[in-house]
Amino acid sequence: MRAVIKVGTSTLTYGNGNLNIRGIENLCKVIADLKNSGIEIILVSSGAIGMGVGKLGLKEKPTDIPSKQAAAAVGQCELMYVYDKLFAEHNHIVAQILMTGDDFSHLDRYENFRNTMDKLLELNVLPVINENDTVATGEIKVGDNDTLSAMTAVGASADLLILLSDIDGLYTADPKTDKTATLIKRVNGIDDNIRALAGGSGSELGTGGMVTKIHAADICEKAGIDMIIANGADANILYDIFDGKDVGTRFIGKAQ
């Protein structure tokens, strides 16, 4: 079993950009344990900009590109420092891979990316992937890590993509505003109805909302990869997923 797990800024940091220590410690422990059980895992992690904002003591996420890129440069360093430290406690080695959208359309770079991921997994290393935010702007960027994680899942020929978010999954309506909203457990093929359910929301420091998640599901579906959206507030949910329990929303890769 090879799985790509994506964690968003909202899972890793508090709204002010400071590290959610309890959340990230538990996440690293669970992923380390799942790796010990034999599951191959690739982590796509956001949080560079959010953590940079926290580390630099900025009052809010900057809007201009140079400040965002500076925050990402500071935050990416901090992010990897934290992962390195926490995974080392469980005897796991992490590796950083930073990608831009451009890298996926250059055949030789894409090939190198795939080969490096394969080699790292063979060496039992945990690849930690993020967009190379300090150089990726305008047309060359992927733009959000939901899409990046789907592209990674395809590149890694993964069996499953898990998007850990601050929401339980895809709802029939926006649960923040509509009390009658219910969780959709399974999506067998993305159609216009499903696309229409994706609002535009996202958290303060992160980028993606449901729109980018549906886009990610689209990419996975075409490649025959299952994708699950689940709430990352408690990383133990990953155990439930790999135990085959019915959590979150599962998008079936091979529509039946």
What is the SS3 string spanning the chain? CEEEEEECHHHHECCCCCECHHHHHHHHHHHHHHHHCCCEEEEEECCHHHHHHHHHCCCCCCCCHHHHHHHHHHHHHHHHHHHHHHHHCCCCEEEEEEECHHHHHCHHHHHHHHHHHHHHHHCCEEEEEEECCCCCCHHHCCCCHHHHHHHHHHHCCCCEEEEEECCCCCECCCCCCCCCCCECCEECCCCHHHHHHCCCCCCCCCCCCHHHHHHHHHHHHHHCCEEEEEECCCCCHHHHHHCCCCCCEEECCCCC
Among 206, 209, 232, 248, binds ligand GLU (CB under 6 A): 206
Under rule CB under 6 A, residue 253 binds ligand GLU: no
Site string for ligand GLU, 146-185 (x = CB under 6 A): ----------------------------------------
Crossing angle of helices 145-155 and 107-122, rounded to 10°: 80
Per CB under 6 A, which region of 46-54, 121-129, 183-191, 243-251 contacts ligand GLU? 46-54
Per-residue mark of binding to ligand GLU, 93-132 (x: CB under 6 A): -------------------------------------xx-
Question: With binding defined as CB under 6 A, does residue 53 bind ligand GLU?
Answer: no
Smaller CB separation from ligand GLU, 25 or 204: 204
The correct pick among 47, 127, 155, 209 for binding ligand GLU (CB under 6 A) is 47
8: contact with ligand GLU by CB under 6 A: yes
Selected binder of ligand GLU within 3, 9, 31, 150 (CB under 6 A):
9
Residues numbered 65-94 forming contacts with ligand GLU, rule: CB under 6 A? 72
Question: Which residue lies nearer to ligand GLU by CB, 34 or 51?
Answer: 51
Q: Which stretch binds ligand GLU (CB under 6 A): 45-53, 86-94, 96-104, 238-246?
A: 45-53
CA distance 76 to 47: 7
What are the residues binding ligand GLU (CB under 6 A)?
A: 8-9, 46-50, 72, 130-131, 133, 144-145, 206-208
